[in-house]
Amino acid sequence: MPYAIAPDDTRIYYETYGDGAPVLFIHGGGGNTICWYQQVPFFASKYKVIVMDLRGFKNSPCAPERNHPRHYPDDVLAILEQEGIGRINLVCQSLGAWAGLPLAVRHPGRVQTLFISGSPTPAYSPQTWEILRKAGKTFDDGRHDLRSKSIGWNRKNVEARPEMLHLYGCIKALNPKGFLALTMQADDVKIHPAEFEGYRVPTLMTGGSHDDFLTPDSHHLVARLLPGSQKYTFEDSGHSPYFETADEFNRVVGEFLDAHN
């Protein structure tokens, strides 16, 4: 099993598939490498696909004091260095944007494209931070996991495919306890508006119209913060279109990658 060693000596687990321009898929707070099972075979026929476990998730355990999103960009860079990759395409779901967006802003020479799905991102504004605060309370509430009770999903899809929600819960259960969503609002992870001056990385900001875990239009708010970014709405999906409407998700990601690689 391949691991990259982060600057603080945390071992970051990742897997690679296929050949071609490299694409790194970075999961959200309920995911890990397995959650991309509908993307890996699709994209590996054309691209070098990399999936990782963020620190503190599944095969990337870390000390509690190091389980923080501030380390995510360096963890990704450790993978790129180990694989000898100069520029990477990034596909980030929700929490994964805390790895991808800081890299695009602070190391634009390493990021070919940035695709973000269902995320308020660490781009700071009062509106997005309030959305993040409310979502974080849901995520950190140990009494009940609302994401496993259909919050954030298109209810029609859950009714038609109950096995989808069950599988999502099984994948999430592989992650150890310990991540706190409140760390996503730490001062040292905020990306302030001034930092986006000169931002040029091709970026597509997306979200689902049934996302009541965040809000159905939160991706529009974020798109306004990222200069030159495009936006797309998954009309039949909630917070996790990569999982819920995979065919459409793969098509949209594929068209975006093809346009810039």
pLDDT single digits (tens) 72-94: 999 999 999 999 999 999 999 99
Give the CA dihedral 125, 131, 133, 139, nearest 10 degrees.
-140
User: Exposed, middle or buried: residue 236 (CB in 10 Å: 0-12, 13-18, 19+)?
Assistant: middle
This prediction has a pTM of 0.96
- Which residue, chain included where needed, has tokens 């909630």? 238
Nearest to 4 by CA among 71, 76, 67, 63: 76
Q: What's the pLDDT at 145? A: 61
Give me the domains of the chain, ranges plus CATH numbers: 3-259 (3.40.50.1820)
User: What's the N-to-C CA distance of the chain in angstroms?
Assistant: 29
Residue-wise pLDDT for 145-180, tens only, equals: 656 678 899 999 999 999 999 999 999 999 999 898
Element (H, E) at 100: helix 97-106
Least confident of 49-53, 151-155, 240-244: 151-155
For CA atoms 34, 95, 253, 77, the dihedral sign is negative
Helical ranges in 107-190 per DSSP H: 126-140, 155-160, 162-172
What pLDDT is stored for residue 148 in this prediction? 65
Least confident of 35-39, 180-184, 217-221, 225-229: 180-184
The whole-number pLDDT of residue 139 equals 64
With beta carbons less than 8 A apart as the criterion, state whether 261 and 113 touch. Answer: yes
Inform me whether the pLDDT recorded for 205 exceeds 80: yes
Q: Are 186 and 70 in contact (CB under 8 A)?
A: yes
What is the arithmetic mean of pLDDT over 125-134? 94
Percent pLDDT > 70 in the chain is 95
**Residue 74 and residue 103 in contact, taking contact as beta carbons nearer than 8 Å:** no
Helix ranges, 25-71 (H): 40-44
Please give the structure tokens belonging to residue 15: 């897997």
Give the pLDDT band (50/70/90) at residue 63: very high
* Torsion (CA) 11, 13, 7, 102 in degrees, nearest 10: -150
Q: In the prediction, which pLDDT does 141 show?
A: 54
User: How large is the average pLDDT for residues 56-65?
Assistant: 96
Cα–Cα dist 71/30, whole Å = 18
Q: Which residue has the higher pLDDT, 216 or 148?
A: 216
Residue type, 240: S
Q: Taking a C-beta distance cutoff of 8 angstroms, is the pair 95, 50 a contact?
A: no
| Spacing of C-alpha 160 from chain mean position | 26
pLDDT for 151 equals 87
Q: What is the pLDDT of residue 135?
A: 87
pLDDT (tens digit, 9 = 90+) per residue, 92-114? 999 999 999 999 999 999 999 99
DSSP string, 209-247: TT--SS-TTHHHHHHTTSTT-EEEEETT--S-HHHHSHH
